[in-house]
Structure formats: C-alpha cells, structure tokens
Amino acid sequence: MKKNNLVFLMTDHQRADSIHMIQDGKEITPNLNKLAKESTEFARVYDACPLCVPARTALATGKNPIKSGMILNDVPGAIAQNHKTIHEYFNDMGYDVAHVGVHHIRVKPDLKERLDFKLWIDEDSYNEYADSKGIDIKRDNANTTMVDEMQEGQYVKFRYSNAKCSVWNNEFEDFKDVYFTRKAVEFLQEEHSRPFALFLYLWAPHPPLNVPEPYASKFNPNNLDLPNNVKMPSKGEPAIRRKGIAAQLAEGISIGEWKKIWATHLGLVNMADAQIGLVLDTLKEKGLMDDTAIVFTSDHGEHLGQHDMYQKMEMYEPAVRVPAIMKIPGGKTQIIKSAISHLDFLPTLLDVMGKEADQEFEGTSLKNCIMTGEDEPEKDIFSVYCGNHKKGDIRRAVISSKYKYIYDSTEEAELYDLEKDPLEMDNLALNEKYAGILKEMHDKCKTWGANYGDYISY
C-alpha cells in the first residue's frame, strides 16, 4: 500500500485568530483559509510552552518541556536530552526527510546529526546565502529593548526584539522566508522514488518587524479593528505580571502605535501565507495533493498589545493558542472546537500513517475525529513557562473546556471563564464564589506537576 507524503508547515509568533481574519477589507491568510475549507481545522489548540525552543521541541518529541528537559530557549542545546523526534519516526518508515527553515528543536545528539536528511537547510544556510549577496543581517539595537529579566532568582538586563516597524531594504527574493520557501519548492519539484516528509519552518511573523514590500504597506493601520483589551491589563492581574518580559516590552506604546504594529505584523503573516501558497501550488502542479498529509501550525502566538503586553512568555490566549489545520487523505472537512494540545500532533501523525509508537505519549491521537467527524472528547490541556534564557519567571497553566487556571508559585493565581470572558479580563481567583473551582484547577496542576517531576513547588 502506497504511503502518503507529509508536508509539515510551521510559522513563528502567528496568532490563532489570524486564520479567517479580515482586516482593511483583506484576508490575512487567503491560502490557509482555502486549505482549512478542505481540511480538519482545530479551533482551540494550545502550545506546550509559549516560547520557541521548548514549544518546538515538545511538538517534535511529543513530550512536554518538563519531561523533555528543554524548558528554556536554549538554542545552543546545552540542556538538551536524547529524545526521538518526528523526523526520525518518518525516517524509520522509509521516508525521504527534508528540513527547511528555523532549527529550534533541541535534542542530543543534535537533530541534524540523528539521520541522513535528504535536504537540510537552516538559519546557517540562509546566513551564508545572505553573506554571498552582501546582505547585512545583524540585528540593529534600534530593533531591541533592554528589559529586566528574571534569571536564577535575580533581575538581569537583557535585550529583546521590540515592536519597531521598518521596511526590508533588499530584494524580496533574498528575504529569509522567501529563500526557505524556494528551497522547499525545489525539493517538491524533484522526482522522489520514496515517499517524502518535508518540514518547512518559516521565521515570520517573528520580530523584528522588518517587512518587505508590498507587505509592509498592505494594511492601513487606520482601517484595523483591534481587540478591545489592547493596552488593558485584566481586572485582578497579579502585580508580578508587570515585571514580566512581555509587559515591559509593551510599556509606553500608544493605541496609534499598536495599530501600526498590528498592520506590520499582519503584513508578515500575509507574506508567510503567500509562501505557503507556493508550496500548496507546487503540490497541486505535481498531482500530489491527494497523496499528501498537510499539517499547519505555529509554535506560539503573540500578544500584540492585548493585556498591555508584547511577544509571548505568558499564559494568556493570544500567546498560548495557535492555529492548526490538518489535511489528511480520507479525513473529513470540519472544525473541531474541543481543546487539544501540540502534544497530540505526533501521536496523531503516527496513527494516520499506520505507525505504532515505540513509547507512551502524554498527547492522544486525533485520528478518530479527523476521519469520522466526531468531536474530540474534552480533556485538560497543560502548558508551562520556566523563563527564557535561564530559569526565571514561573507560569503553569491548565485549560479545561471552560476555565483556565494560571499559577506562578507566588500564590498569586488567575482563573478565567473562557466561555463568558474570552479576553480574560476578569480574574475570578479573587472571587470567593469560585473558591471550589480554583482549588480543583490548582489540584489538577499540582497532580500534573507531580506526575512529570516538575521542579517547582505547588
């Protein structure tokens, strides 16, 4: 029986609500919208951590950051551990495996060394290409802001990408994601004697917000509709949230500036969608759409001023909810509204490809709902944040069908009714009427931490 190919598409910092969004009279993601209409779309997907490296490693290994040990944005891989990845599973099944784009999956040995990739293109590949073209890709300090970051119990000065908007002043074809997509398309256009698994991990819309035309000017800031809680912390927000990185990065930004930031960010999302469109068009031209499983998601979201925050690194919906689409051959066209986790992706793909896992996973296979159209049973979803470069700010979250509980080990908890209060503006942890639910959600969080050996106290 012929095996289906796999094309796994991922962006960075893309919000869940970008799919089907219309701003300034234009679709933000026309290509993904079209794909969603032919696929199973998941409306409530949560990352395992609102931070690049832990999120991507969790997705690739099917293990939460506490279990995998990759709890930080450890790009060098100093704390990486030996875990099997989705790339290796498909290699074991006889696939030609290609990795193109951002390499933020950290295991030991390094992912690049774990199998004989048919194609490997990463940030180093692009850096060499940019250097050959005389393009200066060093990040300007004007695109960064100094914040006080909690590291190992003390605040340390550290620079983060800020929300400054600018225009890419080089050729469009030399933009990082355009380069990555070109390499992916070239791979798809080759003749393959074996099934292939292509992982295309785009950088956009990750800051800095340096955008090529025509996307930099595509959305008029004055014509945008922003969420009602831009520049607004929630009622009852724990004081420690204002000391977090995301809150510091949003300090002093006006509503007018947020509109420009949204327009620039959406331009990057639209540009990434156009690149994804090229990949989908290539599959169609090669007659591969019916024989290829196509998966799209993002590693985490982006606050864009909601809760008066920028970037990710908190447990609010704009940061922890991600878009997700799965076009599986034989699957139903539908929208699944129950909450699922990134940790469900690996067991799902193994299941639909007919491969038995050689280990237990925290996540569960979504094959039944994809193939039958039945909604996925409700379950609790867990997410963690442990700090960025070193152990620092603590955030733990459990999301049920109705409530979200956030714990930070300072005894300042948050509880939100996601049905009545989707913007998370009323912290019910301060309301005695919800004391029972608060305890129930805390106990779930505590039990999860005990099961996986979490290092914090509950």
CATH code, domain carrying 164: 3.40.720.10
99 Rama sector, left if φ>0, alpha if ψ -120 to 50, beta otherwise: beta
Q: Is residue 448 part of a domain?
A: no
Entry field: residues in the chain: 458
Q: Is residue 390 part of a domain?
A: no
Determine the 3-state secondary structure of 6 from DSSP. strand
Q: Is residue 449 part of a domain?
A: no
Give residues with Cβ within 8 angstroms of 251, minimum separation 6. Answer: none
Q: Is residue 428 part of a domain?
A: no
- 223 token code pair: 């014509």
Q: Which residue ranges in the chain fall short of pLDDT 70? A: 1
Q: To which residue do tokens 């994601």 refer? A: 177
Closest CA to 101 of 222, 203, 212, 28: 203
- Print the domain residue range for 144: 5-379
pLDDT of residue 30: 98
Q: Residues 241-294: pLDDT tens digits?
A: 999 999 999 999 999 999 999 999 999 999 999 999 999 999 999 999 999 999
In what side-by-side order are the strands of the sheet with 403-407?
A: 381-385, 395-399, 403-407, 414-417
pLDDT of residue 1: 58
- From CA 441, how far away is CA 433, in angstroms rounded? 14
- From CA 383, how far away is CA 308, in angstroms rounded? 21
Amino acid at 308: D
Q: Residues 91-120: pLDDT tens digits?
A: 999 999 999 999 999 999 999 999 999 999
pLDDT of residue 411: 73
- From CA 146, how far away is CA 412, in angstroms rounded? 26
Q: Residues 115-160: pLDDT tens digits?
A: 999 999 999 999 999 999 999 988 888 899 999 999 999 999 999 9
DSSP-based helix, strand, coil % in the chain, nearest 5: 35, 20, 45
- From CA 335, how far away is CA 282, in angstroms rounded? 26
Q: Is residue 127 part of a domain?
A: yes
Q: Is residue 373 part of a domain?
A: yes
Q: Is residue 238 part of a domain?
A: yes
Domain count, the chain: 1
